[in-house]
Amino acid sequence: MSNDIKNMAMPDEKGYFGEYGGSFIPPVLESILNEITAAYTEISKDPSFHEELNNLYQDYVGRPSPIFYLKNLSEKIGGGKIFLKREDLNHTGAHKINHCLGEALLCKKMGKKKIIAETGAGQHGVALATAAVLVGLECDIYMGEIDIVKEHPNVIRMKILGANVIPVDRGTRTLKDAVDVAFEAYLEDPVNQLYAIGSVVGPHPFPMMVRDFQSVVGREAKKQFQERYGKLPDNLVACVGGGSNAIGLFSAFLEDEDISIFGVEPSGRGFDDGDHAATLTKGSPGVLHGFKSYLLQDENGEPLPVYSVASGLDYPGVGPQHSLLKDIGRVQYVTASDKEAIDALFELSRTEGIIPAIESAHAMAFAEKLAKDLSPDQTILVNLSGRGDKDIDFVVEQYGKDYGL
């Protein structure tokens, strides 16, 4: 297995992680994606690019994000010790700024004027609008009309930041239609625009590039944990939507075979079609949005409807490297339900004073279960991918009664 793990450090030249990944795109895009790959390969070898990005991570994002021992919660559970990697403390409140800054710098270095993307809940849109303003790029964010109404505060944030929020009135007027319209807009002018993908998904080089930008999380965590506790954590846990915060943490530890690694997918309301988004747990290999990976699909290869209480986890595909990590058994993919996640959100809030994003609460829900089966000398490091500010109104409205509110 160790050879497989080493080979996974990079996809091959065509962007394959084992049989997953690659680039399934219209011929007109091939030369454009090749250019992006070439530009990225060049800057990734350029020390001045890394210096510029690392300075922004430090002075703008507030990195390194701390590691915090959850003493109250761990003692209450009475098993293994749980630690958080605090990506929730980053500027803009989540891990997404790590790759948005990387993509914005790449866009600028390629001489493009505008960076574009779709957004569902608005988290990727806000992080990208932030990075665009800092680096000096125009920014167009495509968003379904339904989501614009639902996610009003993030729409306002993007507008204050100077981004153009472009309403999409097609189809169900939500994320999938926003992807389609943004993609069409991209095809109209791929020379002056860069499409910034929001996770480790899409055609090569995006799964590799977004992973590389997020890998700062794992590199920091490894060093911090070793320095502070004199050893590495025994277990890693992260939630998996597209899989960027998870691979960001995991990538530094894949070759440490004594460490158990867990990716947590949303089982939503249950495992009937349309009630969950547990792609690796319930899906099968196929092609979507330009890459091959596990997918939730019907018998014709069409993506199934997906659902999770966490809009950031609600995607029928998953990053191709995760598909390989599942197949070779290096990472175990498990699930947490809506209810378990909401319980975990209140538990972390009320034992430690940290309100997590609902996405991150899925990782906490599994970590609490895992801790129960461990002894106090064993450790779990959870990637707390984001803060819960964006979720509080929804949580109180939908679930407040169950928690005395």
| Residue ranges in contact with ligand PLP by CB under 6 A | 94, 96, 123, 199, 239-246, 312-313, 357, 359-360, 385-386
Q: What share of the chain is helix, strand, coil (3-state, %, to 5)?
A: 50, 20, 35
Q: Are 306 and 296 in contact (CB under 8 A)?
A: yes
The helix/strand/coil state of 114 is strand
The 10 Å Cβ neighbour count of residue 27 is 6
* Beta bridge pairs of residue 335: 265
Rounded CA-CA distance 171/144 in Å is: 9
Tokens, residue 236: 């890693």
Pick between residue 199 and residue 379 the one whose CB is nearest to ligand PLP: 199
Annotation says 96 is catalytic: yes
**Smaller CB separation from ligand PLP, 203 or 243:** 243
Check if 231 is active-site.
Answer: no
Nearest to 199 by CA among 282, 321, 114, 305: 321
Active site residue 385: yes
Nearer to ligand PLP, 37 or 385 (CB): 385
* Strand bridging mode 67-69 / 81-86: antiparallel
Q: Which is nearer to ligand PLP, 182 or 374 (CB)?
A: 182
Nearest to 176 by CA among 304, 321, 362: 304
- On whether the CB atoms of residues 99 and 395 are closer than 8 A, the answer is no
Comparison of 123 and 379: residue with beta carbon closer to ligand PLP:
123
Which element (helix H / strand E) includes 398?
Answer: helix 392-399
Which among 382, 372, 390 is positioned nearest to 76, based on CA atoms?
Answer: 372
| CB distance 192 to 112 below 8 Å | yes
Nearer to ligand PLP, 80 or 266 (CB): 266
Find the residue with minimal CB distance to ligand PLP: 386
- Catalytic pick from 81, 85, 96, 390? 96
Radius of gyration of the chain (CA): 20
Q: Is 25 left (phi over 0), alpha (psi -120 to 50) or beta?
A: beta
DSSP 127-142: HHHHHHHHHT-EEEEE
> Least distance to ligand PLP from the beta carbon of 230, Å?
29
Rounded (10°) angle between helices 27-44 and 96-109? 100
Spatial separation of the C-alpha atoms in residues 73 and 68, rounded to whole Å: 12
Task: State the Cα–Cα distance between residues 149 and 186, nearest whole angstrom.
Answer: 24
The burial of 265, by beta-carbon neighbours within 10 Å (0-12 exposed, 13-18 middle, 19 or more buried), is given as buried
Catalytic residue annotation: 96, 118, 385
